[in-house]
Structure 1
Amino acid sequence: MPKLQRKKEEGNNGSPAWMVTFSDLMTLLLVFFVLLYSFSVMDIEKFEGFMSAFQAQLGVLDGGKTINDESLVARGNIAQRFNPSLQNFNKVMGEMSTYIEQEGLNDRVEMELTERGLVVRLTGQVLYDVGKAELKVGGKNLLDEIAKLLKDIPNDIMVEGHTDNWPINNADFPSNWELSTTRATNVVRYFMENTAIEPSRLMAAGYSEYRPLFENDTVEHRAKNRRIEIVILNTLHNTDLEGR
């Protein structure tokens, strides 16, 4: 009986040996994903969701350390140093936000950080009259301010035109395809002819009514869908290809 009792007591000492290997594996995985994160454009919502799920898995290990807010901020700073696009986006967003507040344009100009890059979204009424593609004077002033922020960063720029689903059919625009494309190219042409943005960085596209933000079921939603999106892309402009 004493011999059996001693074996039982020895079996309760410490965690199983495999836990050490498992702990090392979890640590290596954490380091791997943090490195991936530091070289990517930071998406706060996705990263926080990932970390919550990852920490839940690490919860099976007693005494494990969690990642606090300070460490997330530190890693964000590291990501900015390694990712020039993120630095450019933060600069544009900060200065553009100030301008939007000063001019009272909060309901007409929006910004969104996406996987493609930074989207500056301008409702159609800021730049154009309904059914028209000629830039309004106030719209030109807004484009001038945007150009000041974009001229010194190396990212490519895509200008995209969007309409609502209200049909148009006249001598100038047989359909919303022509209207959306003409609006986008007019913005690009304005940038080329009146600002210091390098023309080779600019692109234009029209999507007609087929990429709406909302259902076209109210006057307000239609107005939101009629828009120009200036997308500062993640890609940096390759000057080596110029002149080829």
Structure 2
Amino acid sequence: MSRRRQEEEVKQGAPEWMNTYGDMVTLLLTFFILLFSMSTVDIEKFRAFINSMEGSIGILQGGSTIGDGSEVGNGINQLPDLEKLLSETTEKMNLKSLEELKKMHSDLENYIQENNLTEKVDAKLGDYYVTLTFKDGVLFDTGKANLKPEAIEVLDKIGIQLSKYPNNRIRFEGHTDNVPIRTAQFPSNWELSAARAIAVAKYYIDELSFNPKQFSTEGFGEYSPIADNSTAEGRAKNRRVEIKILSEYASYAVLNQ
């Protein structure tokens, strides 16, 4: 009677302990990504996070195996320094943004003076953008949203300088005083201010071939004054159109601020 040889079954693929280990690492990575995604950070901070993890998780292409675990440990050890890394990255971006805005503001001020526009347009430096303010009566008649013929020359001159910032988001804002308006076209100052902002933006798009993806418009009505509405002089200052040129470095972070 022959003896039957029992053949040992050879299992294919990675050892069972490695599959469990791979699941654990994947869950840990997913957990930290979820935590990060729920925080209020911008795209630059997210890139910094990815860079801090790059090379730390030793997952091979195809997902069949993972590294020996030492690299995973190194990646986890980097996480306590993530906040510091994000802070340093943000600080660097802010410095670049400030340098860009200061130069932009200086160039615009010089350009306005050289083209005799100081009585019509002001340039002001802000934290995230440079603001160009068209003074009352330069672009529109009272209660109107149609560009005045004499406004075209001013917009054309400013457009020459704006064309030097193709990578910056540009926001057009319309503002009014607190004198009520009730017409068929403009039931309130909301509609009037928005129509004026859109009119200026569309001129640059339709007549000077600016990229509409670069622009946005807002109408603030009477609710963002820069002067006292109780005086004629104050009301004149509040009736304005502003062009805000956002920093190229900060555009993604502060677009909706």
Hey, what does 2:135 align to over in structure 1? 123
- How far apart in 2 are the matches of 1:142 and 1:183? 15
Counterpart among 78, 84, 92 of residue 39 in structure 1: 92
Hey, what does 2:164 align to over in structure 1? 152
Counterpart among 176, 199, 209 of residue 163 in structure 1: 176
Counterpart among 231, 240, 254 of residue 227 in structure 1: 240
TM-superposed CA distance for 1:40, in Å, is: 4.7
Hey, what does 2:43 align to over in structure 1? none
Counterpart among 187, 195, 199 of residue 212 in structure 2: 199
TM-superposed CA distance for 1:182, in Å, is: 0.2
1:152 counterpart letter in structure 2: K
- For this pair of structures, how many residues does the alignment match? 165
Unaligned runs of 5+ in 2: 1-84, 253-257
With over 3 angstroms needed to count, the CA separation of the structure-2 counterparts of 1:115 and 1:128, relative to structure 1, is same
- How far apart in 2 are the matches of 1:36 and 1:149? 30
- Deviations for 1:28-70, whole angstroms, at most 9, x for unmatched residues? xxxx9xx6796254xxxxxxxxxxxxxxxxxxxxxxxxxxxxx
With over 3 angstroms needed to count, the CA separation of the structure-2 counterparts of 1:96 and 1:224, relative to structure 1, is same
Are the equivalent residues in 2 in contact too, given 1:158–1:204 (CA < 8 A)?
yes
- How far apart in 2 are the matches of 1:87 and 1:146? 22
Counterpart among 152, 170, 193 of residue 180 in structure 1: 193
- Deviations for 1:139-195, whole angstroms, at most 9, x for unmatched residues? 222221222222232110000000000111112111100000000000111011011
- How far apart in 2 are the matches of 1:152 and 1:102? 17
TM-superposed CA distance for 1:86, in Å, is: 4.6
- 2:122 equivalent to 1:110: yes
TM-superposed CA distance for 1:220, in Å, is: 1.1
2:92 counterpart letter in structure 1: F
Percent identity, aligned pairs only, is: 37
2:126 counterpart letter in structure 1: T
- How far apart in 2 are the matches of 1:87 and 1:152? 16
Larger radius of gyration: 2
- How far apart in 1 are the matches of 2:120 and 2:90? 33
TM-superposed CA distance for 1:222, in Å, is: 0.7
- Greater helix share, 1 or 2? 1
Unaligned runs of 5+ in 1: 1-31, 42-78, 239-244
Hey, what does 1:69 align to over in structure 2? none
Q: Report SS of the residue matched to 2:117.
A: coil
- Deviations for 1:60-93, whole angstroms, at most 9, x for unmatched residues? xxxxxxxxxxxxxxxxxxx4xxx2x555534543
- Give the alignment's TM-score, normalised by structure 1: 0.60
1:158 counterpart letter in structure 2: R
- How far apart in 2 are the matches of 1:174 and 1:132? 12
Are the equivalent residues in 2 in contact too, given 1:110–1:121 (CA < 8 A)?
yes
- How far apart in 2 are the matches of 1:163 and 1:176? 7
- How far apart in 2 are the matches of 1:199 and 1:91? 25
